[in-house]
Amino acid sequence: MRIFTAALATETNTFSPICVDRRAFEASLYAPPGQHPETPTLCTAPITVGRRVAAAKGWELIEGTATWADPAGLVNRSTYEDLRDEILAQLNAAMPVDAVVLGLHGAMVAAGYEDTEGDILARIREIVGPDILVCAELDPHSHLTARRVAALDFAVYFKEFPHTDFVDRAEDLWRIAVDTLEGRVKPAVSVFDCRMIDVFPTSREPMRSFVDKIIKIESDDPDVLSISVIHGFMVGDVPEMGTKMLVVTDGKPEKGAALARDLGLELFSKRGTFMAPQIDEKEAVARALAATTWPVVIADVWDNPGGGTAGDATVILEEMLTHEAKDTAIGTIWDPMAVQICFAAGEGAEIPLRFGAKSAPGTGNPIDGTVTVVKLVKDAEMQFGESLAPFGDAAHVVMNGIDIILNSTRAQSFDASLFTVMGIDPTKKKILVIKSTNHFFASFSKIAAEILYCSAGTPYPNNPAKTPYRRAPRNIWPMVADPHGNECGAA
């Protein structure tokens, strides 16, 4: 068997002012054929898992380019076309192949291309023809379009949010691919449109039980090869935005369709109950300062670079400074220019510095003050599961007794190693302020005495009922109360 594999991924917040060009992909991950590291990134696990599978089977794995840009705004048109055409040329050179196994995200939008994944998949299908297996692993914070369903034989999405299972799902992808290539199964895909958009953390109920339920169905029913919840991505203003259920069966599309519908309506019946309650920055800081056990983690959930924002909001920091908070660490505030100034000054320097709140309205005000440069790290990285997440050249500064990490590559706060790599012991702080919606939970829940979910400022359009969409569907919840009528229970 000859298997071609490649990865092209980013997550596009179409409301974000941070545009993406080739430099953004190169800053996060750009690996030419055969140069992908041994550890996977979020959307490249099919490559590293594929290496193991191909070696065990004695198959030839032909690696194409693997590249990923951290979430932001619209992708430059020529950047997408160049990366797409690079991979397509590699596939053409590899022909004939028996299968194509891809790592994609599912929420990329480029100038001129609302459905980039649909575009590249359709072009791959044209190259290999109708009888060659084409499959992909994707992020659930994405858009499942009709064009993608038509081009793919099957797809597998991460189940967990935080996405702690991207390697496990790549294993599922390859298991089904191997069984298909060896004639044991014939994947059939069924999709149900839940007609909703929501946020579904699996670290809490009711989503925890729902995911456990679909895992059990997969285990107990030999006809069911895979079940995925495509959460949707509420700041992707595209025509097929929304939550979908995808069921892959062994040649039983009618059974898959019935199961997808039942599960989709069950999910819809719980709409609006999935996210943790959120408080504003004043209440969050007041509660953290009044705490008697530490550390208290304040999650700045909407200034989350993992959702495409800049990650430079200062709203919570301003509130901390107002209350003269001590024993506090902030990780991170994105400001490449401030980082450059700190590197020029050097460790130990005391300098005047303006930083933060440069990207957009609703992110607070730039912070002005005298800072001490404590530690400088080139090409800093934090852990994220089995992989490393870069956050670029970074500076640890102290201002008015608050430890602040300034970074040059936007990244959400995945892991407590974000602090330790910058010389801060997070367990010794009373308050930790991080920027992440839920990916932080797997790591920070292990050290936190309390977690406060804070909605501070307006860097991210987080209320779909009020978001000024131009392209997204308007006939889904919460834009309308119940697009399914009486098919399921009320919320």
In tens, the pLDDT along 122-132 reads 999 999 999 99
pLDDT(488) > 80? no
Tens of pLDDT, residue by residue over 86-136, are: 999 999 999 999 999 999 999 999 999 999 999 999 999 999 999 999 999
Q: What is the pLDDT of residue 25?
A: 96
Q: What is the pLDDT of residue 183?
A: 98
Provide the whole-model pTM. 0.93
Q: What is the pLDDT of residue 159?
A: 98
Residues in the chain: 491
Q: Which tokens in the block code for residue 103?
A: 């790592």
Tens of pLDDT, residue by residue over 193-228, are: 999 999 999 999 999 999 999 999 999 999 999 999
Helix (H, G, I), strand (E, B) or coil at 136: strand
Q: What is the pLDDT of residue 387?
A: 83
Distance, in Å, from the CA atom of 19 to the CA atom of 70, rounded to the nearest integer, reads 11
Q: How confident is the model at residue 485 (pLDDT cuts 50, 70, 90)?
A: confident
Contact criterion met (CB below 8 Å) for 405 and 329: yes
pLDDT(486) > 70? no
Of all residues in the chain, the percent with pLDDT exceeding 70 is 99
The single-letter code of the amino acid at 91 is: L
What residue spans define the domains of the chain? 2-270, 281-454
Tens of pLDDT, residue by residue over 226-240, are: 999 999 999 999 999
Burial class (CB in 10 A: 0-12, 13-18, 19+), 51: middle
Q: Which tokens in the block code for residue 362?
A: 């609703």
Q: What is the pLDDT of residue 487?
A: 60
Tens of pLDDT, residue by residue over 411-444, are: 999 999 999 999 999 999 999 999 999 999 999 9
Q: Which tokens in the block code for residue 401?
A: 């007794």
Distance, in Å, from the CA atom of 66 to the CA atom of 30, rounded to the nearest integer, reads 6
Tens of pLDDT, residue by residue over 14-71, are: 999 999 999 999 988 999 999 999 999 899 999 999 999 999 999 999 999 999 999 9
Q: What is the pLDDT of residue 491?
A: 37
